[in-house]
Amino acid sequence: MNQLVTVESSIYIPTFDENNDIYVDESPYKPYERKCVKYECRCKAGSYFVGSKMFKQHIKSKTHKDFISYYKKYFKEVDEAKEIINDLKIENELLKRKLKKYQKCIEMLDEEQFDDCD
Ligand SMILES: [Zn+2]
């Protein structure tokens, strides 16, 4: 077999339980999902899981449980900051495009003024 295997990898982000104001573990996989994405968990360097079974096993570890209970304190802001940065990037891109458009208009206006001077 000479196959290239591309391993998709994501960072696992626990679910926020708004009612209880805490983070909880919720499987990122659908039941019986076949092509499972590899998730890296920030509870421990090099820690990861692939598929429901491994996920269930992973969330039982003490390191992970501690990680979840401190999640809000250490990671919530980082995750939210990432989202804000993304939104700002999009907004910035749109504003840049608008600015380019207006710059062209200003250039055209300047040229017109020069024409008037002649
Ligand atoms: Zn973990």
Whether 51 and 9 share a structural domain: yes
Whether 44 and 91 share a structural domain: no
Please state, in angstroms and as integers, the Cα–Cα distance from residue 43 to each residue in 3, 10, 76, 110, following that order. Answer: 32, 14, 14, 59
Whether 114 and 70 share a structural domain: no
Whether 49 and 12 share a structural domain: yes
How far apart are the C-alpha atoms of 47 and 38, rounded to whole Å? 11
Whether 5 and 30 share a structural domain: yes
Number of domains into which the chain is organized: 2
Q: What is the pLDDT along the chain (118 residues), one digit of tens a residue?
A: 445 555 568 999 999 999 998 999 999 998 888 888 999 999 999 999 999 999 999 999 999 999 999 998 888 888 889 889 999 999 999 999 999 999 999 998 888 766 555 5
Q: How many angstroms separate the alpha carbon of residue 99 from the centre of ligand 1?
A: 45
Whether 26 and 8 share a structural domain: yes
Structural domain span for residue 115:
82-118
- Protein residues within 5 Å, CB atom, of ion ligand 1: 41, 43, 64
Whether 68 and 89 share a structural domain: no
The answer, as to whether pTM is greater than 0.85, is no
